Amino acid sequence: MELLFGPGLLFRNAVIGGLCVAIVCSLLGVYLVLRRLVLLGVALPQAGAAGIAAAFWISAHAHQPGGAHTGALLGSLVATFGALGLLVAGQRSGRSPAEWGVGALFAIASSATVLFVALNPSGDLEVTNMLRGELLTVSDADLLALLVASALSLALFFSFRREILLASFDAEFARTIGRNPARADALLFGLLGGAIALGVMEAGPLVVFGFLVLPPLAALRVAPGLGAAMAIAAAIGAVCSLGGFSLAYRADLPTGPTSVALAAVFWLALTAFARWRARPGRRASPRAAGLVALVLCVVAALGCGLVFGMEPAAPPLSRGTLPDLAGRGPVAVARFRNATGVPLRIESGNPLRELPRVIGRGSGEEWTVTDALQAQASHELALRDIAVSGFEADRAAMTSVPQDAASAATLARDGGVTGPVLFGCLRRFTVTGTGLLLVHLDLSLVDSSSGDVLWTGQARGPFSVRSALTTRELLVDAAPAIFAQAFDAD
Amino acid sequence: MSANDALLRLVDASFGYGAMPIVRGVSLEVVPGELVALLGSNGSGKTTLVRGLLGLLPPLAGRVERSPRLRLGYVPQRETLDPLYPLSGFDVVLLGACRDLPFYRPTGAPERERTRSALEAVRAVAFSGRRYGQLSGGQRQRILIARALATQPTALVLDEPTAGVDPETEKAIVEVLQELRTEHRLAVWMVTHQLEAVIGRVDRTLVLEEGRLQSGRGA
């Protein structure tokens, strides 16, 4: 749970980003389905992906966090809205059926994506991850943009929901009562284009298409009304996003496709339910059906919560060189010392927490690499079947950073810790231009009562972090390997 | 009927698409309390004339004079509406009741009351809770008439309201229109290609042939 939502979380951005994409796409997708424009939902995300691949190619992207991401976002926006504009222009000319243009767009965008990736000598991994729907690499800046865009989209959508419905259901009638359906259409497609462009950046075209179509299809099977359909679609999207992430985490699968597969399960289940309900002699009760769908969502959400709360069912890892600590009580992990001379600050996963710092009024505790390593150390010990007091308890018991193992024992004793204490000193944490993380971490396990050193270990060396773009992602990639080396090496 | 009563007047008006006129040189008046049938075969220009009356097409020639009292309520052909939408009959009528509601205001009690009144006027309350897509042709037609009525119109324009319904339903629909004409003093214009559906039931018939209004007569 802590890995996902805790302050040192490694996946929080991805979870929140995935939720945003799922909810907004599921909601807007209801209109895509009702207007029989489902094919647009597959072609536009592909156009966005082609735009991103083109941006990576143009910037010859390797590892330039920030600038390259902005370029990719621009590429996605330009390609998505450009494709949308071309389709609208083609449809207005009325010379050919709309699906001809959509089909051609999909074919062109798909081949363009592959070609741009092939032409890019260094950025293929990022683009491939994106195409697979690997949600793990959502940066803070991306998340902030996604949160703002999602909030704005939802606000606009709900403000103009009546105009959008009128324009979609009966545009001619809308015109006769003084409404402007073209403007409402422009708003709807603008929102769709924005959601698709940003969604493809965060989750890939497959995930965006999946959420645009499957939750709305499932919801429309059972919803008693349009408002209920939107609520159910958004709920299914949210549950599938969280549940998919949970399943992917446990089964080591790509997150996006797992979420989409879960949405497909919802669609199949609700379709079967709707057919069963429609059998002759069975009284249709749409409100009851809607209630069933919501109950399904709640049950699934509770199930996801339970899964999140459980540790992976894998067997415990080897203790390596760690001593047998039976009878000594749970191990506490002291705050790690940063001896690198660099602050190694990690930007908060919550953009609102970043605002005070951005405007120069930062205060309070800031999350650093050593804090994340402390949290990871506690987690790694638990994975090796060693009793730990827990990260939060350790932070509360030992509020300052010890200078060495002896002072860690003293601090622990003063904080009421009676068992062994693990202390770490980070001496190097540098990323090379070739995608390697150079680390030097010294670990000591001391008895808090006597101050005796029970064990020492060390992690030194380069760790591959080729696909990581942020410090948080560096830790996702490297932290398990760092502790594996420190604990397991003879 | 005095010329000053006219809600809408076409004077030698032509309508069409692009520069090509399809309906040419039409002069007519829409006055309150009159039920008029506009007859014509397929391709005669009925829909183009309706779009001209509704203000959806600007005149290519001639004049269109609209009274400040004119509020048009439009009833499209029911096949043009997608039954896939999960809207009840009440929801559909409510859309009409929100005609004057700004986009930022949610629907409230006045709109719901107007919706109920419109449903009662066309005797559609009983099935208004059912999904629009699951209603019969005649029921859908009543819902669409109620939606137009909920916009508080002074004139109703109906495009083929009796197409594809059985004779009994056809008679019931025309009776509803007659009541609206009499009790609400609405100008009711219905477009149809079925002479038998309106003969003896309307105040006036107009026949459109090849884009020209050929005749007008009392029923």
DSSP notation for A236-297? HHHHHHHHHHHHHHHHT--HHHHHHHHHHHHHHHHHHHHHHHTSTTPPP-HHHHHHHHHHHH
Distance from CA of A371 to the nearest CA of B (A): 47
Tokens of A241: 């996003």
Q: Which of A277, A264, A208, A224 is nearest to A26 (CA)?
A: A208
What band does A305 get if pLDDT is binned at 50, 70 and 90?
A: low
Summarize pLDDT for A156-204 with one digit per residue, the tens. Answer: 999 999 999 999 999 989 999 988 999 999 999 999 999 988 888 778 8
Residue B219: is its pLDDT beyond 50?
Answer: no
Using an 8 Å CB-CB cutoff, list chain B residues near A278. Answer: none
Summarize pLDDT for B117-133 with one digit per residue, the tens. Answer: 999 988 899 999 999 99
pLDDT of residue A129: 61
- Nearest Cβ partner for A162 among B56, B84, B103: B103
**Contact (Cβ atoms closer than 8 angstroms) between residue A26 and residue A259:** no
Q: Would you call B27 helix, strand, or coil by DSSP? A: strand
**pLDDT, mean of residues A240-258:** 82
What band does B111 get if pLDDT is binned at 50, 70 and 90?
A: very high
**pLDDT, mean of residues B77-97:** 90
pLDDT of residue B167: 78
Summarize pLDDT for B150-180 with one digit per residue, the tens. Answer: 999 999 999 888 777 777 778 888 888 888 8
Q: Is A431 at the interface with chain B, CB within 8 A?
A: no
What band does A62 get if pLDDT is binned at 50, 70 and 90?
A: very low
Per-residue CA distances from B78 to A285, B38, B115, B161 (Å): 25, 18, 19, 8
- Judged by CB atoms closer than 8 Å, whether chains meet at B86 and A172 is answered as no
**Average pLDDT of chain A to the nearest whole number:** 81
Chosen from B72, B80, B95, B147 to mutate, greatest number of chain A CBs within 10 A? B95
Range with top average pLDDT, A283-287, A299-303, B164-168: B164-168
Share of chain B above pLDDT 90, in %: 42
- pTM, 2 dp: 0.70
Share of chain A above pLDDT 90, in %: 27
Q: Which of A25, A60, A434, A29 is nearest to A204 (CA)?
A: A25
Using an 8 Å CB-CB cutoff, list chain A residues near B131. Answer: 286
A119 contact partners, CB below 8 Å, separation of at least 6: A57
Residue A59: is its pLDDT beyond 80?
Answer: no
Q: Is A160 at the interface with chain B, CB within 8 A?
A: yes
Residue A320: is its pLDDT beyond 90?
Answer: no
Return the axis-axis angle of helices A12-34 and A205-222, rounded to nearest 10°.
60
Structural domain spans, chain A:
2-309, 332-488
Q: What is the rounded CA–CA span in Å between residue A3 and residue A465?
A: 19
Q: Could you tell me which CATH class the domain A2-309 is placed in?
A: mainly alpha
Q: What is the rounded CA–CA span in Å between residue B117 and residue B93?
A: 10
